[in-house]
Structure formats: C-alpha cells, structure tokens
C-alpha cells in the first residue's frame, strides 16, 4: 500500500520565556493508505503537537513531513492551504462550528471554499445532506449549532471533515468530551469511514477507542516508545479481547 504520510526525524521545539521546550524529538513513522492509527501517551507527551505538526497546522523545527508524496515544508502557503482544505479533514475535542450558520451550512462551508470538486452549490448541499443521513443526524440539518447535543455536534464535525473527500482525517481526542454511548457511536462512524478507505490518525486516552484501530503508537516525552499492531476490527465480539491485549501492552509501556 501507498504511504499517505511519512515522517522523518521530526523535531518540534517551542520557545517560551527564552526557555527551549523540545516537545518532539526525532520522531519517525509512516502511515499507509487505509490505516487507522491511534496515538496514546501521558498528558503533555506531545500527542497534539505531533498531530498538528504532521498535518501542516504547525511548522516543524527540523525533519521532514511528506504528505501524499509532497514535502509540506517545501510548499507555498497557498498550496499547503489547499492540501489542508481538500485532502485533510480535522476533528477536535472542542467542536468548533460557526454560530450564525445552521449545522448543514457549517458542514458545506469547506466545500464552498474548495476548488477540488467542480460541483454546483446545490450538489455540494446534496452531498452534505447525504453525509448527514449516513451519520444519522439529518433531522438537525437546519438547527442552530447550540440546539443540538454534543454527540450530534461531533457527528456533524465528522460530516464537515468528510465534505471534500479528504485522503486523511486527523482527530484530536474526538470522543474526549462525550459520554460513553455518544463516544461509541462517534467511534463507530469513524471506523466505517476508515473501512470505506479514508486513512485516519487520532489521539485518544480511551482504550475502547484505540482497540478499534489498526495500530496504536505510544508516545512518551516526545518519542514513540512503542507500537502495537492489530488485525482489522471486524465485529463487536472481538472487542473485549482487543481491549485486554491492548491494556496489557499499555501496562508494559508504563500507562
């Protein structure tokens, strides 16, 4: 399989009050098309920084990030912006949506900004609605964003992240603000999207979430301490066993 993402000797240093904080220290990994990778690790270990640096939201201090065959540091800012808009989807723990637009308008907005798919406005709206139907939230299409539940809003954020048919979705604790039931539902939607071919990389503290992925990377102090590979998740029956084996491995990692 083709690598969607290649990260070579990635370093990220923040300087605050003249003090250097080396957050990522020579990180190396590849993500193949179709993978679903979970990043786990203690608070402050650099998980969010890693996600933001490899997705071009933040600049690397040293090293190389190659997305879809292109070294993102060599791109003009307009080229990087269109790759981020067209080929990457983003989901966060805090569900950012514009307050003066309906849920559907929020979902369709990135398609209106994109030149990737030469669809009419009407076709973009239709596609947004088909995503909402797929994720079981079509009934909130015309709602204001503060008239919906957290679980519904996060599913709407997934629709928005999918609207330009990106190659890869980056999600930072996408279920972190949700209760167990909503978290399971949101994770199930992400898993289906992944099974349909979209590569996903997500940060999570939740073993139940990570156990549905194809790989778990454990980060400590800005380094990948270990990786755990799974077969592709097929049914609910395997979940307990996957959680158990992941828990055992995480204990070895010092979780």
Ligand X SMILES: Nc1ncnc2c1ncn2[C@@H]1O[C@H](COP(=O)(O)OP(=O)(O)O)[C@@H](O)[C@H]1O
Burial annotation 151-181 (CB, 10 A radius, 16+ → b, else e): bbbbbbbbbbbbbbebbbbbbbbbbbbbeee
The CB-of-48 to ligand X minimum distance in angstroms stands at 3
Tokens of 82: 């269109």
Please select the residue that binds ligand X; options are 16, 17, 77, 235, rule is CB under 6 A. 16
Burial class (CB in 10 A: 0-12, 13-18, 19+), 114: middle
- 49 lies in the site for ligand X, by CB under 6 A: yes
Which of ligand X, Mg ion, none does residue 45 bind to, with CB < 5 to 8 Å depending on kind? ligand X
- 21 lies in the site for ligand X, by CB under 6 A: yes
Please select the residue that binds ligand X; options are 37, 48, 214, 216, rule is CB under 6 A. 48
Question: Read out DSSP for 113-181?
Answer: H--SS---HHHHHHHHHHHHHHTT-GGGTTSBGGGS-HHHHHHHHHHHHHTT--SEEEEESTTTTS-HH
Q: Which residues lie below 8 Å from residue 93, measured CB to CB, with a gap of 6+?
A: 172, 173, 174, 176, 177
Q: Are 201 and 37 in contact (CB under 8 A)?
A: yes
Which of ligand X, Mg ion, none does residue 247 bind to, with CB < 5 to 8 Å depending on kind? none
- 146 lies in the site for ligand X, by CB under 6 A: no
Greatest Cα-to-Cα distance within the chain, rounded to the nearest angstrom: 53
- 94 lies in the site for ligand X, by CB under 6 A: no
Which of ligand X, Mg ion, none does residue 46 bind to, with CB < 5 to 8 Å depending on kind? ligand X
Residue in the shown chain whose Cβ atom is closest to Mg ion: 48
- 78 lies in the site for ligand X, by CB under 6 A: no
- Count residues contacting ligand X (CB under 6 A)? 12
Residues 30-59 that bind Mg ion (CB under 5 A): 48
Nearer to ligand X, 44 or 136 (CB): 44
The CB-of-144 to ligand X minimum distance in angstroms stands at 31
Please name which of 35, 26, 27 lies closest in space to residue 3, comparing C-alpha atoms. 35
Q: Contact region for ligand X (CB under 6 A) — 16-24, 70-78, 95-103, 245-253?
A: 16-24
Long-range contacts (CB closer than 8 Å, 24 or more residues apart) made by 78-81: 80/56
Nearer to ligand X, 40 or 131 (CB): 40
- 14 lies in the site for ligand X, by CB under 6 A: yes
Binding site for ligand X (CB under 6 A): 14, 16, 21, 23, 41, 43-49
Binding site for Mg ion (CB under 5 A): 48
């Amino acid at each position: 399989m083709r690598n969607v993402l290649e990260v070579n000797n990635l370093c990220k240093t923040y300087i605050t009050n003249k003090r250097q904080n080396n957050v990522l220290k020579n990180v190396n990994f590849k993500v193949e098309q179709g993978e679903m990778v979970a990043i786990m690790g203690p608070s402050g270990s650099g998980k969010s920084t890693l996600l933001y640096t490899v997705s071009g939201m933040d600049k690397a201090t040293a090293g190389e990030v190659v997305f879809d065959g292109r070294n993102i540091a060599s791109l003009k800012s307009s080229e990087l912006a269109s790759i981020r808009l067209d080929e990457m989807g983003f989901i966060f723990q805090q569900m950012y949506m514009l307050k003066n637009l309906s849920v559907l308008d929020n979902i369709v907005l990135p398609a209106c900004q994109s030149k990737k798919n030469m669809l009419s406005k009407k076709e973009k709206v239709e596609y947004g609605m088909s995503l909402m139907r797929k994720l079981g939230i079509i009934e909130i299409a015309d709602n204001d964003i503060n008239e919906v539940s957290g679980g519904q809003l996060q599913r709407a954020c997934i629709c928005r992240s999918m609207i330009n048919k990106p190659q890869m979705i980056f999600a930072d604790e996408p279920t972190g603000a949700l209760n167990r039931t909503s978290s399971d539902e949101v994770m199930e939607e992400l898993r289906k999207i992944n099974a349909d071919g979209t590569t996903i990389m997500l940060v999570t503290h939740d073993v139940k979430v990570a156990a549905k992925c194809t790989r778990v990377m454990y980060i400590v102090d800005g380094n990948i301490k270990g990786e755990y590979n799974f077969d592709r998740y097929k049914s609910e029956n395997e979940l307990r066993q996957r959680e158990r084996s992941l828990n055992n491995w995480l204990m070895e990692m010092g979780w």
